[in-house]
Structure 1
Amino acid sequence: MQRVLADTSVKVAVSLVGEAGPLVPMAIRFRLADESGAVIYPEVAIGDPGPGVGFEILTDVDSERVIFTIPAPAHQLAGKLNSLRVLTVLVATAEGTTRLVERYVVTKEAILEPLKNSVQTYDEAVLLSLSMPGMIGWEAANDTERQSALIAAFVRLAQLKYRVRDRFINGIDVQRRLALEPGSSYNIDRLELLTADEWSRLSGRFKESLARAQIAEADVILGGDEIGSQRQAGLFSHSIGEAKYMFRSEKPLSLPVSEQAVRHLRGFVRWSVTIGRA
């Protein structure tokens, strides 16, 4: 899907081809809306005077397509991280009217925003991933695919509950080394609701573990754990040529995140379950 940066213009080409073949337009009408259906540019026919909404969509029509130049004011995000634009084109022909739809995404230059849809920026993730070998799915993906996977990984990580104990300084367990009383601990039930101040209080060890877990989960989402996916699907064996791999008969425990991500979070995840009377 085409992406455009917020507050910039974009050209959108719509092919004049319907289910029955090429269209011979007698008239063309169009409108622009967002993902919720809110109208950004009201329906108007090509060639009609502008509806006075403050800007104009320029069009270029040939025998095969219509090219819309949609200006920057149509791509304001108003506090959102991204938004969808839906361009609906109604082509009137001698046989009737055909509806054509083109969609594209409006996004900020930095798609990942820490504490909103990620625990790190994309560049931080790229740098950290260099110390994480065997990232098959991650290495094969492009920037857009990686960023989408990191956002999906953050959503999964946010389903876990965490406890962070204030006992580590520069990686040293000072509680054990100096025989100190247990320090403060932080229970995190909603990762996505952490404020910048709360995040700053958390240990660097926990934040790096969380960042590594996000990258590991993104790798799984990008197809880096084929065997794990097969086990979750209930398969007992897997063959590649003459090599055959046998799995345990028990299906692995279903968790919001993969085993790869959990390895980075050991010591921080709260697994306790409260059982109450209905």
Structure 2
Amino acid sequence: MDMFSAGSAVLLSVPLQDKSGNALDVTAVSYRITDQNGVELVAVTTLDDFSPGSETADITVPAEDNQMAPGEARAMRNVELTCTIADVNTIVLHAPYVIQVADPLVVGTNSFSSFAKAEFTALSIPGLTAWAAASEDEKIAALIDARAHIVQLSFAPLNSNVNWGQDSLNYIPEGTYDTDYVGNSNMFLFNGNLDLLRPSQFAALPTRFVDALVKAQVAEADYILGGGDIEKKRQDGLVMDNIGESRQSFRQGKPLQLPVCRRALAYLSYFVTFAKRIGRC
């Protein structure tokens, strides 16, 4: 899918063909534009300068219709064309494209790091073969996916007045944590759930913790892109793999499945907790 810079005008030249690639004899074209959620941005508009019999329909989407909503890194525009054929039948064609900001990784929203910082961090992590071979778009997609994996972990409290709930003797009334989330508002990171932090709250996290998150994100992105073949085989239960005469052996029980790979978890081991407790908040 084509990508364009947010806030810029986009000129589309849409081939007038059916799903099999056969040319359509189109006499008139109208179109409308929606976003990725189906919200209509441009109502049905007749393409006045269309010449009957043309092989393409040229549509210009103005810059004001390619603006990003606050907090968005990427968005989609779907141009829906209604083509009249032989002045009787109609056929609908779709011409989707993506708009994005200069760096689609928004720190504190869909990533723990900018793309530049992720590339810099990768220099200090050896053996990222899949990462090194990937394109920029692949790396960005993997980093966004990696963050989604990491936020599934539960993180232990750090040293702060907002670490403790009201059920704890360590609770300090002055140490409240502003949040839109309902419930457990006096617990560190809303019970350790990073996905509920606003960007301003993420920016206030300790540097050591953020650095660990970035390293884990890059390591997990490498794993997503195809690195860690041995670990993936072990996750499948493989305990023996002989190359000669190709013999394999698998364990009977299912190994423990975690949201992230072992390497990513190792960077976060100081901050992650697997303990569960019940208390009054």
Q: TM-score, normalised by structure 1?
A: 0.78
Q: Compute the displacement of 1:232 (Å).
A: 3.9
Partner of 1:265: 268
Q: Compute the displacement of 1:157 (Å).
A: 1.0
Q: Note if 1:128 corresponds to 2:129.
A: no
- Of 136, 139, 156, the residue aligned with 2:149 is 156
State the superposition RMSD in angstroms: 3.0
- Of 56, 69, 72, the residue aligned with 1:78 is 69
Q: Compute the displacement of 1:242 (Å).
A: 6.6
Query: Counterparts of 1:131 and 1:242 in 2: how far apart (Å)?
Result: 39
Partner of 1:11: 11
Q: Note if 1:98 corresponds to 2:91.
A: yes
CA offset digits 1:223-260 (Å, max 9, x no partner): 22334344445566657687766554433211121222
Letter aligned with residue 132 of structure 2: E
Unpaired stretches in structure 2, ≥5 consecutive residues: 161-174, 176-186
Q: Is contact 1:60–1:68 with CA below 8 Å preserved after alignment?
A: no
Larger % of strand: which? 1
Query: Counterparts of 2:248 and 2:132 in 1: how far apart (Å)?
Result: 25
Unpaired stretches in structure 1, ≥5 consecutive residues: 49-58, 168-183
Corresponding residue SS for 1:22: coil
Query: Counterparts of 2:31 and 2:116 in 1: how far apart (Å)?
Result: 39
Q: Is contact 2:238–2:251 with CA below 8 Å preserved after alignment?
A: no
Letter aligned with residue 99 of structure 1: V
- Superposed counterparts of 1:34-53, under 5 Å: 34-47=35-48
Corresponding residue SS for 1:105: strand
Query: Counterparts of 2:30 and 2:103 in 1: how far apart (Å)?
Result: 34
Letter aligned with residue 113 of structure 1: V
Q: TM-score, normalised by structure 2?
A: 0.77
Structure 1 residues 77 and 226, CA, compared in 2 at 3 Å: closer, same or farther?
same
Structure 1 residues 161 and 68, CA, compared in 2 at 3 Å: closer, same or farther?
same
Structure 1 residues 90 and 5, CA, compared in 2 at 3 Å: closer, same or farther?
same
- Of 42, 45, 59, the residue aligned with 1:68 is 59
Letter aligned with residue 75 of structure 1: N
Partner of 1:255: 258
Letter aligned with residue 262 of structure 1: L
Q: Compute the displacement of 1:262 (Å).
A: 0.7
- Of 204, 207, 211, the residue aligned with 2:210 is 207
Query: Counterparts of 2:156 and 2:97 in 1: how far apart (Å)?
Result: 40
